[in-house]
Amino acid sequence: MVALQQVAKHDGAEAVLAALATDGAVIVRDFLAPGLLQQFRDDMEAHASGHPAGSLADNQQVQQFWGRNTKRFTRLAHRSPAFVEILTDPLYLAVADAMLLPQASDYWMNTGQMMIIGPGEKAQWLHRDAENWPTLCAPGAFEVTLSCLFAISDFTDEVGATRVAPGSHLWADYQRRATPEEVCQAVMPAGSGMIYTGRVLHSGGANRTASQWRYGLHLSYVLGWLTPEEASPLGASWADVAHLPQVAQRLLGWRCSAVNDRHAARLWTVDYEDVPTGLGYDS
């Protein structure tokens, strides 16, 4: 039976990268410090209490993929100061540097999204996140995105721990389906995180409980020359990010991409200036 490798956070980026190379996903134990985890969870529970489950989209496939009893929301930099500390975690950024910088001069946040799976929710279909950019999702292609699913509450089999097909990023045929024997679940305690590549098959699990909600944070990065899922500058204003380090501002879309590119081909600019400069926010 297949299973995901597990490493401790203090094992460092090299241990994570070694597991990603073979399996495409790895569980990092004790990823979030207890105080940070509690602060972020408190913020998310406060917001989730008034947030509806399911999608407002007319598309039936979107509704099914979203989950009819799953709560999803973004704008996390606006909703929780603790999120920025998670966004700029040194280990996660070191792994992202190694995975993404060979293909781009920088990267930015793809999305920071709460995925709160409710009782009775069915499992998602297995998918690859890189399918958002379909011409770049192919066997042997380079990675365009890197994700982490943080367990904000305990991830158990019954509550819908994420399903993964280890090694599926290395398959020669991306059209074939994974067999049940090729799929396992990322069972892990709160505070852990599953880092995974954009080309490994995965999905949310089924929540078979009567009353428990599975709190998960999906945080992903994408190459700086690709469009991310989340329009993050529209969900976190300059007032929200002005006090943050420039690395956080850039990840949230408030700094231009490729600012130090040798070709001077900067992307995401205002009057071809860095975003705060072009908008007159820089002092």
User: Is residue 248 one of the residues assigned to a domain?
Assistant: yes
User: Is residue 202 one of the residues assigned to a domain?
Assistant: yes
User: Is residue 1 one of the residues assigned to a domain?
Assistant: no
Can you read off the two tokens belonging to residue 106?
């920088």
Structurally, how many domains does the chain consist of? 1
- pLDDT digits 0-9 by tens, 131-162: 999 999 999 999 999 999 999 999 999 999 99
Average pLDDT of the chain, as a whole number: 95
Show contacts of 11-18: CB within 8 Å, 24+ apart. 12/91, 12/94, 13/91, 13/94, 13/95, 13/98, 16/91, 16/95, 16/195, 17/95, 17/98, 17/99
The CATH number of residue 238's host domain is: 2.60.120.620
The yes-or-no verdict on residue 261 having pLDDT over 80 is no
Query: Quick one: pLDDT at residue 264?
Result: 59
Q: Give the domain extent around 161.
A: 6-278
User: Is residue 171 one of the residues assigned to a domain?
Assistant: yes
Total-model pTM: 0.96
Contact 186, 164 (CB under 8 A): yes
- pLDDT digits 0-9 by tens, 229-254: 999 999 999 999 999 999 999 999 99
Task: Please report which confidence band the pLDDT of residue 283 belongs to, taking 50, 70 and 90 as the band edges.
Answer: low
